[in-house]
A = this chain, B = another copy of it.
Protein backbone atom coordinates (compact mmCIF):
# COMPACT_ATOMS: atom_id res chain seq x y z
CA UNK A 1 0.00 0.00 0.00
CA UNK A 2 1.37 3.37 -1.00
CA UNK A 3 1.84 5.96 1.70
CA UNK A 4 -0.70 8.71 1.96
CA UNK A 5 1.95 11.27 1.10
CA UNK A 6 2.45 9.71 -2.31
CA UNK A 7 -1.04 10.73 -3.44
CA UNK A 8 -0.65 14.09 -1.81
CA UNK A 9 2.48 14.83 -3.80
CA UNK A 10 1.05 13.42 -6.96
CA UNK A 11 -1.88 15.82 -6.76
CA UNK A 12 0.27 18.77 -5.76
CA UNK A 13 2.61 18.11 -8.65
CA UNK A 14 -0.38 18.23 -10.94
CA UNK A 15 -0.97 21.77 -9.70
CA UNK A 16 -4.14 20.81 -7.85
CA UNK A 17 -5.10 21.23 -4.24
CA UNK A 18 -5.14 17.91 -2.39
CA UNK A 19 -8.73 17.99 -1.27
CA UNK A 20 -10.40 15.15 0.57
CA UNK A 21 -12.23 14.13 -2.62
CA UNK A 22 -9.18 14.15 -4.86
CA UNK A 23 -7.17 12.16 -2.34
CA UNK A 24 -9.92 9.60 -2.01
CA UNK A 25 -10.22 9.17 -5.76
CA UNK A 26 -6.44 9.04 -6.24
CA UNK A 27 -6.29 6.30 -3.65
CA UNK A 28 -8.91 4.28 -5.50
CA UNK A 29 -7.23 4.86 -8.83
CA UNK A 30 -3.56 4.51 -8.06
CA UNK A 31 -3.27 2.11 -5.16
CA UNK A 32 -2.97 -1.22 -6.87
CA UNK A 33 -2.78 -2.48 -10.39
CA UNK A 34 -3.56 -0.44 -13.45
CA UNK A 35 -7.23 0.24 -13.75
CA UNK A 36 -9.90 1.19 -16.26
CA UNK A 37 -12.80 3.15 -14.86
CA UNK A 38 -15.78 5.14 -15.94
CA UNK A 39 -17.12 8.08 -13.97
CA UNK A 40 -20.06 5.97 -12.82
CA UNK A 41 -17.95 2.99 -11.80
CA UNK A 42 -15.51 5.11 -9.82
CA UNK A 43 -18.33 6.99 -8.16
CA UNK A 44 -19.94 3.69 -7.24
CA UNK A 45 -16.70 2.45 -5.72
CA UNK A 46 -16.27 5.61 -3.72
CA UNK A 47 -19.79 5.26 -2.34
CA UNK A 48 -19.18 1.63 -1.47
CA UNK A 49 -16.15 2.74 0.56
CA UNK A 50 -18.25 5.39 2.27
CA UNK A 51 -16.28 8.19 0.69
CA UNK A 52 -18.55 11.14 0.10
CA UNK A 53 -17.92 12.48 -3.40
CA UNK A 54 -20.47 13.76 -5.85
CA UNK A 55 -20.65 12.44 -9.39
CA UNK A 56 -19.92 15.95 -10.71
CA UNK A 57 -16.70 15.99 -8.73
CA UNK A 58 -15.75 12.56 -10.05
CA UNK A 59 -16.16 13.89 -13.59
CA UNK A 60 -14.16 17.01 -12.80
CA UNK A 61 -11.42 15.05 -11.12
CA UNK A 62 -11.11 12.51 -13.91
CA UNK A 63 -10.68 15.33 -16.39
CA UNK A 64 -8.22 17.19 -14.21
CA UNK A 65 -6.15 14.06 -13.69
CA UNK A 66 -6.26 13.44 -17.41
CA UNK A 67 -5.03 16.97 -18.21
CA UNK A 68 -2.31 16.49 -15.65
CA UNK A 69 -1.16 13.33 -17.38
CA UNK A 70 -2.09 10.99 -14.54
CA UNK A 71 -4.79 9.30 -16.59
CA UNK A 72 -5.50 8.60 -20.20
CA UNK A 73 -8.94 8.76 -21.74
CA UNK A 74 -9.95 5.83 -23.94
CA UNK A 75 -12.72 5.99 -26.51
CA UNK A 76 -14.25 2.58 -27.14
CA UNK A 77 -17.94 3.09 -26.68
CA UNK A 78 -20.12 5.96 -27.76
CA UNK A 79 -22.09 5.61 -24.55
CA UNK A 80 -19.47 6.29 -21.91
CA UNK A 81 -15.93 7.55 -21.36
CA UNK A 82 -13.25 5.30 -19.94
CA UNK A 83 -10.13 6.39 -18.13
CA UNK A 84 -6.98 4.30 -17.88
CA UNK A 85 -4.42 4.64 -15.11
CA UNK A 86 -1.78 3.25 -17.43
CA UNK A 87 -0.58 6.23 -19.43
CA UNK A 88 2.17 4.33 -21.20
CA UNK A 89 2.19 3.05 -24.76
CA UNK A 90 -0.26 0.19 -25.07
CA UNK A 91 -3.53 -0.91 -26.60
CA UNK A 92 -6.79 -2.48 -25.47
CA UNK A 93 -9.12 -5.42 -25.60
CA UNK A 94 -12.70 -4.28 -25.32
CA UNK A 95 -15.25 -6.86 -24.21
CA UNK A 96 -18.36 -5.61 -25.95
CA UNK A 97 -20.77 -7.74 -23.99
CA UNK A 98 -19.95 -6.41 -20.55
CA UNK A 99 -18.09 -3.16 -21.24
CA UNK A 100 -14.83 -4.40 -19.73
CA UNK A 101 -11.51 -3.08 -20.92
CA UNK A 102 -8.10 -4.69 -20.49
CA UNK A 103 -4.60 -3.75 -21.53
CA UNK A 104 -2.67 -5.42 -24.28
CA UNK A 105 0.99 -5.11 -23.50
CA UNK A 106 2.86 -3.33 -26.23
CA UNK A 107 4.96 -6.36 -27.09
CA UNK A 108 1.90 -8.51 -27.81
CA UNK A 109 1.10 -6.26 -30.71
CA UNK A 110 3.17 -4.52 -33.31
CA UNK A 111 2.48 -1.94 -35.85
CA UNK A 112 5.19 -1.96 -38.47
CA UNK A 113 3.90 0.66 -40.81
CA UNK A 114 2.30 3.86 -39.57
CA UNK A 115 0.97 6.23 -42.21
CA UNK A 116 2.29 9.75 -42.52
CA UNK A 117 0.08 12.40 -41.07
CA UNK A 118 -1.89 14.36 -43.66
CA UNK A 119 -0.36 17.63 -44.85
CA UNK A 120 -0.01 20.14 -42.03
CA UNK A 121 -1.12 17.69 -39.37
CA UNK A 122 0.71 15.92 -36.59
CA UNK A 123 -0.10 12.50 -35.17
CA UNK A 124 -1.30 12.80 -31.62
CA UNK A 125 -1.83 9.13 -30.94
CA UNK A 126 -2.44 5.77 -32.54
CA UNK A 127 -5.17 3.96 -30.68
CA UNK A 128 -5.88 0.31 -31.27
CA UNK A 129 -8.94 -1.41 -29.90
CA UNK A 130 -9.36 -5.15 -30.32
CA UNK A 131 -13.05 -5.83 -29.86
CA UNK A 132 -13.83 -9.26 -28.55
CA UNK A 133 -17.03 -11.16 -27.98
CA UNK A 134 -17.80 -14.45 -26.34
CA UNK A 135 -16.98 -17.37 -28.57
CA UNK A 136 -20.18 -18.98 -29.74
CA UNK A 137 -20.14 -22.77 -29.20
Contacts and interface: CB of A to CB of B under 8 A. Distances in A.
Contact of A78 (B78, B93, B104): B78
A121 B109 contact: no
Contact of A123 (B80, B126, B132): B132
A127 B129 contact: yes
A135 B122 contact: yes
Interface of A: 75-78, 80-81, 93, 95-96, 102, 104, 108-115, 117-118, 120-136
24 contacts: A75-B75, A75-B78, A77-B78, A78-B80, A93-B117, A93-B118, A95-B121, A109-B114, A110-B111, A111-B128, A117-B130, A117-B132, A120-B135, A121-B132, A121-B134, A122-B135, A123-B131, A123-B132, A124-B133, A125-B131, A126-B128, A127-B128, A128-B128, A129-B129
